[in-house]
Amino acid sequence: MPKIDRRIIKSQEAIKKALIELMSEKSFDSITIQDISDRANVNRGTIYLHYQDKFDLLDQIMEEHITNMGNFCESAAEMDFIESTVHCMEYLESNYLFFSTMLASEGAPYFRSRFLKFNIEEFRKDVDITKGKNAGRNEEVIVQFVANAYVGIVEWWLKNGMPYPPRQMAEQVGDLLERII
């Protein structure tokens, strides 16, 4: 794999950060490429060198975070619900501006549905309807319930400025998940 120039990485990170900051201040529709380039301190051409338009930029940022969440979940697969939830809450905290903008401010409705879909697929791996407390229940109902509850609590946590530290939040959410799954 060829080595990527650090200047390119630095420019891309500045562009991504600029868009998220702008989205926390005003609606996505009102943001222009010029706004992004001014905030990122790069030429408009630099943005077009890496992205087709602001929609492509936003899509790439969203997919990057979904991929990172997937990697976090994969690395937490061997942990119990509470520890894996701590792991996820810490990721959300470290990327607060992105997630609060995407979920809490309704900056990108598409992201919420994409985040929900991601969580549905992750929770689907944990639901067992062949034995235990969920024996004979409808798997789809359980998965939808748990994923929607999880996304809802994450939204609430972010909208309220993360009133509890990640570990405390994760312990409460993990305990609830263990009761259901």
pLDDT value of residue 83? 83
The total number of structural domains in the chain stands at 2
Q: Are 110 and 125 contained in the same domain?
A: yes
Instruction: Please choose, from the candidates 34, 40, 38, the residue with its C-alpha nearest in 3D space to the C-alpha of residue 16.
Output: 40
pLDDT value of residue 27? 87
Q: Are 74 and 13 contained in the same domain?
A: no
Q: Are 87 and 124 contained in the same domain?
A: yes
Which CATH number is 75's domain given?
1.10.357.10
Q: Are 39 and 113 contained in the same domain?
A: no
pLDDT value of residue 71? 86
Q: Are 26 and 76 contained in the same domain?
A: no
pLDDT value of residue 22? 94
Q: Are 38 and 109 contained in the same domain?
A: no
Residue 30 belongs to domain spanning: 1-51
User: Cβ contacts of residue 165 below 8 Å, gap of 6+?
Assistant: none
pLDDT value of residue 79? 77
Which CATH number is 21's domain given?
1.10.10.60
Q: Are 118 and 169 contained in the same domain?
A: yes
Q: Are 16 and 62 contained in the same domain?
A: no
pLDDT value of residue 120? 95
pLDDT value of residue 98? 92
pLDDT value of residue 105? 62
Q: Which tokens belong to 121? A: 């697929």
Which residue shows structure tokens 């401010």? 105
Per residue of the chain (181 residues), give pLDDT as tens. 567 788 889 999 999 999 999 998 998 889 999 999 999 999 999 999 999 999 999 999 999 999 998 887 777 777 777 788 888 899 999 999 999 888 866 556 788 899 999 999 999 988 888 888 888 899 999 999 999 999 999 999 998 999 999 999 999 998 888 888 8
Distance from C-alpha of 61 to C-alpha of 51, rounded to nearest angstrom: 11
Neighbours of 84 (CB within 10 A): 21
Q: Are 121 and 66 contained in the same domain?
A: yes
Residues 121 and 147 sit within 8 Å (Cβ to Cβ): no
Phi (first) and psi of residue 2, to 5 degrees? -65, 145
Distance from C-alpha of 147 to C-alpha of 32, rounded to nearest angstrom: 34
